[in-house]
Structure 1
Amino acid sequence: RLAKAQRILSRRARRAKQEHRPLRTSKNYQKQRLLVAKLHAQVFERRRDFLHNVSTTLIKNHDFVAAEELRSKNMLKNHALAMSIADVGWRTFLGMLAYKAELYHRQFLTVDPKNTTQACHECGFVMGTAGTEKLTLADREWTCPKCHAHHVRDHNAAQNILTKGIIKLA
């Protein structure tokens, strides 16, 4: 719906330009501009509401929450994922978790993301060392060459983040 409204806005701008009228006097353009702004505000509110709901649920249901201190600036360099990463609002979410943890008297920590996906949570072996290849984003499941444990990438990373958080807490 937003994309369609933006296309119409572009069309209105093009038409005003063809008729040699300034955009501020083009009533159709101004009406469409306000509609697009309203749709952007709705998307923003929905996203913020979702983040509030998820962060409140996490903090209320758990005494201790650990999260990666992801550097979204570095992740935005991957152009294939940049739009999705920017839309998520990771920094906003971490801020909400932090203040809600304080509000509900819970523990919240951020941990260094180094090797959280590459390390085996059972034996600590890090992929990319000892002649093994580093895992890529396409590798969703892998088997540890040292202890032969089978891992789902995201579950393994979650275990590693929790372990790092507990170590940091102690």
Structure 2
Amino acid sequence: MEEFSDVGKYLRLPLHQIKVQESMDTSDVILIESIAEKLKQNQRNFLPIIVEEVDENEYKVLLNSHIFEAATTAKLDFVWCILADEQRRKQIEIESQQRFEVNMLTASEETISRMLQYIKKSHSGWRIEPEKVAKVIVANRNEKWKERKPFIPLTKLNCGIGKTKLGTLNKYFCIN
């Protein structure tokens, strides 16, 4: 049973106690300004910022950094957040459809094929044959794939997956 904590709770936090990770993507300025206008009108965010506590009264943004950026632009004093931790980050990404997690080492050929079809439909420039790629993956996958950088072995299988597609694959598949 989980220990009692504030993880998962809504918190109203002072904006100055929240920091953005350097590695987070910044959103387009026009989008931030548009969100900031709504935040100025309502004086609150309805979609919470997902944060992790890094020290007492110090938080870092895990998800929804665009709302944090807009709140900063709108000069809000407080924002609504949900406290999470790294363990729950992956679950939040999956639930918010920012990440899929199909295990390439254990998924059926059909599941891999369906995910590749989804990727092909969602990403222009993906000229692959999902059924063929899935068949090649299932025929060649092995436990040694865990030891290497994710998905690098796919680039050696002549199945249409090159290094430029690896970043996208990492958003939809895992190897564990």
Work out whether the TM-score is over 0.5: no
Bigger radius of gyration, 1 or 2? Answer: 1
Q: Which has the higher contact order (CA 8 A, sep 6+)?
A: 2
Higher strand residue share: 2
Q: TM-score, normalised by structure 1?
A: 0.30
